[in-house]
Amino acid sequence: MLINVLDHGSTSQKINAAKKMFRKAKARHSIGDSSGYQLLKAEEKEKAITFDSSLPLKNTAKELNISPQQVMQANAIHQPDIVIGLDWPIRKLDNGIQKQLEFYKKLKFNIPWAFESFAWKNALVPHAQYFQPLQSYTLDHVDIFLNEIRGVHFDGVSMPVRTLKPLELALFLVSFYKRGITRVHLLGTSSLPVIVMCAYAAWNLFEWVSLDSTTWRYAADKMSFLNPLDLSRIDLRTSVHVPPTALNLCPCPFCNGQSFQAIQAITPRRDKLQMLREHNWLAIANLVNDLYANGYTIPNLEKELRFRCRNQRQVDSLINTLSVVDALKDCDISLLQTVLASNPKGRQRSRLVGRQTCFA
């Protein structure tokens, strides 16, 4: 169960609702997020943003106020197993110069917040593990940030992946592994490639891998049905023609054997929305469990993906990337980077796997 400070700890009403949710869910693990995503959204909407611990936590249509102290005060109420420090997320940008400016702009906040979050965590939630958020476009940015926050003893790292391609994500994960980081939380997407990377990493790189996103909800809000095999989307808006030959083979209890046309016709709209949210959440959860169950070796993972995915080129790319990672994860990161960059289509996959012991 993952909660965030602004949505679940900023008012007595939200606190009570979160407590009720915890009682009903009976989750084995709980994570307290710092609401960095809400801060990013507030920036995009040009809200007035402050970081004053003497003012109340706030996230309205026009204002947002949050601070490291308040993050840990809210976590002290719910006592999660893992807490994530406050950070200011970097935006999704394409221009290299803009990325550099954005990284250094946010770095001025993220460095002191790391120390403050860690100190307040120790004071208010001492039993919890502390995950340090990373906001980096490149591996060099990770180096810069971690060098600046030496003295912050984190149990794991938290990183958004919304700006990363699968190959780039693989490099970040191996970089964490080589630094001795053993616990990783990824946020921002629950796409098939990210889940595949997580399944492999959970078996072969880390002690703990977790991920979160609102894909299940946002897809449902757009009336999209997530295919339980590969999370591809089927548009079930009433204005869209769904051919009768398209069969819904999902066995989940929320579909209950309904055809796509029957789901498309559900009224009122809130009932259809609820059904899609429930189905989408379970589709993602089942995919995560199935890929993790087969993620201990790359051949097993490939076999599962070949069965599930219509896009076999995507499977080729993912398996090639993981095969190179598996062969070179203990080598210098620059070698892995070079091989992945020069071999995007997997032409040398079998040769690299065959030479794994040479690189080890």
| Whether pLDDT at 356 is above 60 | no
188 — pLDDT class (breaks 50, 70, 90)? confident
Q: What is the structure's pLDDT at 112?
A: 98
pLDDT number for residue 344: 53
228 in the same domain as 147: no
Residue-wise pLDDT for 284-308, tens only, equals: 999 999 999 999 999 999 999 999 9
**Both tokens assigned to 8:** 């679940």
Regarding whether 111 and 18 lie in a shared domain, the answer is yes
Kindly state whether residue 354 falls inside one of the protein's structural domains.
Answer: no
Confidence check: pLDDT of 110 > 90: yes
Cβ distance 284 to 231 under 8 Å?
Answer: yes
Dihedrals phi, psi of 132, to nearest 5 degrees:
-90, 120
Q: How many domains does the structure of the chain reveal?
A: 2
Q: Among residues 273, 292, 311, which one ends one of the domains?
A: 292
% of the chain at pLDDT higher than 70: 95
Cα 232 vs. chain centroid, distance in angstroms? Answer: 18
Q: Which of 134, 160, 186 is the last residue of a domain?
A: 160
Token pair listed for 254: 């929320």
pLDDT given at position 359? 27
Q: Are residues 156 and 224 in the same domain?
A: no
Residue with tokens 């819904």: 248
Last residue of a domain, one of 229, 257, 292: 292
CA distance 303 to 294: 9
More confident residue, 347 or 42: 42
Measured distance CA(67)–CA(224) in Å, rounded: 36
* One domain for residues 9 and 142: yes
Q: What is the pLDDT of residue 345?
A: 55
What range defines the domain where residue 234 resides? 219-292
**Would you state the torsion angle of the CA atoms of residues 39, 42, 44, 50, taken in this order, to the nearest 10 degrees?**
-80
In a domain, 206, yes or no: no
pLDDT digits (tens, 9 = 90+) for 211-225: 998 999 999 999 999
pLDDT score of 285:
94
User: What does the mean pLDDT of the chain come to?
Assistant: 93
In a domain, 209, yes or no: no
> Are residues 134 and 261 located together in one domain of the fold?
no
> Is there a domain that residue 182 lies in?
no
Long-range Cβ pairs for the range 232-237 (8 Å, 24+): 232/310, 232/311, 234/260, 236/260, 236/263, 236/264, 236/272, 236/276, 237/264
pTM confidence score: 0.91
What pLDDT score was predicted for residue 347? 43
pLDDT tens digit sequence for 264-274? 999 999 999 99
Residues in the chain: 360
Are residues 153 and 242 located together in one domain of the fold? no
Kindly state whether residue 58 falls inside one of the protein's structural domains.
yes
End-to-end, the C-alpha distance of the chain in Å comes to 38
Average pLDDT rounded to a whole number, residues 181-198: 93
Answer yes or no: is pLDDT of 8 > 90: yes
CB 324 within 8 A of CB 336: yes
Query: Is residue 18 located within the same domain as residue 147?
Result: yes
Q: What is the pLDDT of residues 58-99, one digit of tens each?
A: 999 999 999 999 999 999 999 999 999 999 999 999 899 999
CA angle 187, 180, 106 (to 5 degrees): 45
Q: What is the CA radius of gyration of the chain?
A: 22
**Residue 327 scores a pLDDT above 50:** yes
- Please report the pLDDT score of residue 306 as a whole number: 96
pLDDT by residue (tens digit) across 227-265? 999 999 999 999 999 988 889 989 999 988 899 999 999
**pLDDT at 131 > cutoff 90:** yes
> What are the contacts of 53-60 at 24+ separation with CB within 8 A?
56/10, 57/5, 57/6, 57/9, 57/10, 57/11, 58/10, 59/6, 59/10, 59/35
> The tokens 């958020």 sit on which residue?
133
Domain harbouring 142, CATH code? 3.20.20.105
Q: Are residues 126 and 226 in the same domain?
A: no
Same domain? 224 vs 147 = no
